[in-house]
Amino acid sequence: MAKLSYAASFVEWFANEVKRLDGRTVPTHIDDAHLSTVMEPVGVAALITPWNFPVEMITRKAAAAMAAGCTVVVKPAHKTPLSAIALAQLAEEAGFPPGVFNVVIGEPQMAMETLVSDTRVRAVSFTGSTRVGGLVAKTAAASGIKTLGLELSGNAPFIVTEDADFEQAVCVAVGAKSQMSGQDCCAANRILVARPIYEQFVEGYSEAVKALKVGNAFEANVDIGPLMHQAAFDSTVARVNDAKAKGARITVGGKPHALGGWFFEPTVVADAHPGMRIYNEENFAPISAVSPFDTLDEAITRANDTEYGLAAYVCATRIDTIFQLVRRLDFAMVSVNGVKFTGAPIPFGGMKQSGLGCEGGAEGFEPFVETKYFCLGNLGLPLSSAA
């Protein structure tokens, strides 16, 4: 229910925010003229969404596009098409005119290329990996200039400074890593801890991770579910084995879960370092790479040493430390002393190879609108008039 409420929040937000989607009056520099802008819908919008948030990623895009006046064509992930079909049925029951909210399903690359290359499509919004995002951008460019919004991969650092509230830091780290069983582009990926509290943190964090309940989502109080598919499971096994071979300590977990299938034990890999796959790559799994740092400059340098720039986490209490980290981290979103930071009112997006543009907030309209300027001349107004 929480995920459905989150999805619905985007519909409510954009339905209200569109009331403020206005143009502006420009002080004139042309004698006898009135200068203004208006916002107009860009046209048909293609929305390509991932499997891990099969409802929320559709409503975050579609609510903004339709509120702005665009019609939409949704291509959901091929592994989770039923959520999109259910939304289409709800749109019909709500009285949407035919052709406003559309869903297409097919072989992933063929469906993407067909949709994105169609010249009738004027805006493309994609959420997924950086690799596929590049293919979407290339396909869009080949068929003419289109508005493009990309929300791509992450490699989120989680920095725990020496002055952090220790118990809070452990709690936040567990939440930031275990959300969606680690299968979330904003999940904490590299946990960097000040050396004076490093061993204490590894012990406390390991105990908290060990207490997580693994099981079927339909069971009560389950924290960690299965991985999405065999490829994800195999990659997780390979990353943990690579870390062990390169000298890491496995303090909790480290192997497939006794439940079998695609379940993997929540795992803490201590003493992780650059060169290990678990440190360098985005881990869509409940596996944590933890390592120490000696200075704040070192922590910032290591956190920024990635091509991605989506989300970062900070646990600290000194306000000067917090502001240094917020300003110097090359990530579009920084969460301080908490797990939850997303939502309909905030501009969700990435820097560097993590994306282009934002979704949510007032910025969420940007891929779906054009600014039209007009000049009304010969009105008999003096040059000094501020129309």
CA torsion 176-227-283-211 (nearest 10°) is 40
Both tokens of 288, joined, read 């944590």
d(CA 365, CA 359): 8
Q: What strands, in cross-sheet order, belong to the sheet with 44-48? A: 101-103, 72-75, 44-48, 121-127, 147-151, 355-356
Please report, to the nearest 10 degrees, the dihedral formed by the alpha carbons of residues 181, 132, 158, 327 taken in order: -150
Which pLDDT value is given to residue 387?
41
Q: What are the two backbone dihedrals, phi and then psi, of residue 193, each rounded to the nearest 5 degrees?
A: -125, 135
pLDDT of residue 381: 63
Residue 98 CA to its chain's centroid (Å): 30
CA distances from 46 to 112, 273, 280, 309, 340 (A): 9, 40, 32, 25, 29
Mind giving me the DSSP string for 292-312? EESSHHHHHHHHH-SSEESEE
Mean pLDDT by 10 residues, the chain (387 residues): 89 96 93 94 98 96 98 96 96 96 95 96 97 96 94 97 98 96 96 98 98 92 95 97 97 97 98 96 96 98 97 98 98 97 96 96 96 92 52
Tokens 């709690």 sit on residue = 171
The tokens of 308 are what?
């991605």
Delineate the domains of the chain, giving CATH numbers in brackets: 2-152+354-375 (3.40.605.10), 156-336 (3.40.309.10)
Q: What is the CA radius of gyration of the chain?
A: 23
Q: Which residue has the tokens 């997006």?
A: 349
C-alpha 100: how far from chain center: 26
Decide if 87 contacts 59 (C-beta within 8 A): yes
- pTM exceeding the 0.85 threshold for the entire prediction: yes
Q: So which residues are the catalytic ones?
A: 151, 185
Map tokens 């062990």 to a residue. 244
- Give the pLDDT score at 384: 52
Q: What token pair was written down for 105?
A: 């399903």
By CB neighbour count within 10 A (0-12 exposed, 13-18 middle, 19+ buried), where does 38 fall? middle
How close are the terminal C-alpha atoms of the chain, in Å?
50
Sign of CA dihedral 338, 343, 348, 354: positive
> What is the spatial distance between Cα 22 and Cα 223, in angstroms, rounded to a whole number?
44
pLDDT computed for residue 116 by the predictor: 96
Torsion angle, alpha carbons of 137, 142, 143, 146, to 10: 40
CA trace torsion 339, 309, 254, 226 (10° rounding): 70
Q: Where are the alpha helices (DSSP H) in the chain?
A: 2-17, 56-68, 82-93, 108-117, 130-142, 166-178, 198-210, 230-245, 277-280, 296-304, 319-328
Neighbours of 251 (CB within 10 A): 20
356, 148 Cβ separation under 8 angstroms: yes
